[in-house]
Amino acid sequence: MSHPHSCTLCCRRRSIAMSACWVDQATNALGLSSNTMATWSKTLCDFVQQHPIVAGIVATPVVVVSGYHLIAAIIYRQRPYFSFRVTQGVSTYSFQDPFFTDISDVPWISDVESQWMTIRSELDQFVANPPFPFAPYFRPDLVNRSGVWTTLGLKAWGIQSQKLLDQFPETMKVLDQIPGVIGISFNHLAADGEVKLHQGNSNGITRFHMGLKVPQDVSDCYFKVGTEKRKWEEGKLFGFCDAHWHTARNGSDQSRYILLFDVVKPELLHMQNYICARVVADLAMQYFIGRSKVIGFFHKYFRTVTRFVMYACFVPIFHVFVVIKPNILAFFE
């Protein structure tokens, strides 16, 4: 009969071996030289021999994280595009999706459009006496002048702001009937405002716009995806692929308000939480790199390794957050 202590040591050695294997595979993926890999492997082996207990403690989260990504790779065989990249380079997006989505057969479109005045009424009440301000978009480089593009984010990639959701109960009644809604916001584009060309985080969703307050009889107020241009109409929806390059313009002397919401594509609904976790992990990584001096230092001098480790760890963490839905947006406000 084996001693319990020997079983513990056996499990620890297995964890350490799996950790070493994972590190070896990761260095290959990062394009490191064979000499570097050999040096790292020798250092790891020496450390394990000298500090087996510490190595076992360190190996546990490595095994958990690598196990998560292995299981995800098996379960989620479809591969939507994600904007995250470990190394610098051009976008890996294929650009094969249509610019604007054909929504003629989408069953809930008429239900949402029929309630547009109810949604606009809630927005009017909010704007007349706002308990919370519209926030400037987090990338000031995307606008022609500061503060012209502001948003009120009720939900973003599965992470919701309960205090804002409570302000729009009728809007939520309408949108809660739609399967796969992972993002909801009201967007304001001020007079003579322009949102510069930019690309979204994934083609796993369809992004919808519905005009709520749109300047009338103005030719210079439009939304453009790729080479196609459309105007917003009050009470009318259009959908588009957010992964394509797109831009918005309000050349009038009035404000423009729309309802924006993201819907996971029907064929990807089984991986809804995973899609959200992948994108939120990327956004959170950008947040911490920009605000933490320590992380910023490592990102500056060890960019590839820092991004690889942060992203690999953040995805499973935010997958849990998306499922249990804690109020984590309060942390980022």
pLDDT tens, residue by residue, 205-258:
999 999 999 999 899 999 999 999 999 999 999 999 999 999 999 999 999 999
Q: How far apart are CA 66 and CA 71, in angstroms?
A: 9
Condensed to tens digits (0 to 9), the pLDDT of residues 104-125 reads 999 999 999 999 999 999 999 9
Residue 266 has pLDDT above 80, yes or no: yes
> Confidence class of residue 129 from pLDDT cuts 50, 70 and 90?
very high
Task: Tell me how many degrees the CA angle 52-54-59 measures, rounded to the nearest 5.
Answer: 90
What pLDDT shows up at residue 268?
97
Residue 333 has pLDDT above 90, yes or no: no
Condensed to tens digits (0 to 9), the pLDDT of residues 296-310 reads 999 999 999 999 999
Q: How far apart are CA 222 and CA 206, in angstroms?
A: 19
What pLDDT shows up at residue 298?
92
Q: Is 130 exposed, middle or buried, given 0-12, 13-18 or 19+ CB atoms closer than 10 A?
A: exposed
Q: Of all residues in the chain, what percent are helix, strand and coil, respectively (each to 5)? A: 50, 20, 30
What pLDDT shows up at residue 225?
98
| 322 contacts: CB under 8 Å, gap ≥ 6 | 157, 158, 159, 273, 276, 277, 280
What pLDDT shows up at residue 78?
87
What average pLDDT does the chain have? 88
What pLDDT shows up at residue 318?
94
Condensed to tens digits (0 to 9), the pLDDT of residues 6-31 reads 554 555 555 455 445 555 555 454 55
What pLDDT shows up at residue 47?
73
What pLDDT shows up at residue 170?
98
Which sign does the torsion angle of CA 81, 243, 274, 109 carry? Answer: negative
Task: Tell me how many degrees the CA angle 136-253-206 measures, rounded to the nearest 5.
Answer: 50
Statement: the pTM of the whole predicted model exceeds 0.85: no
Condensed to tens digits (0 to 9), the pLDDT of residues 133-185 reads 999 987 889 999 999 999 999 999 999 999 999 999 999 999 999 999 999 99
> Confidence class of residue 59 from pLDDT cuts 50, 70 and 90?
confident
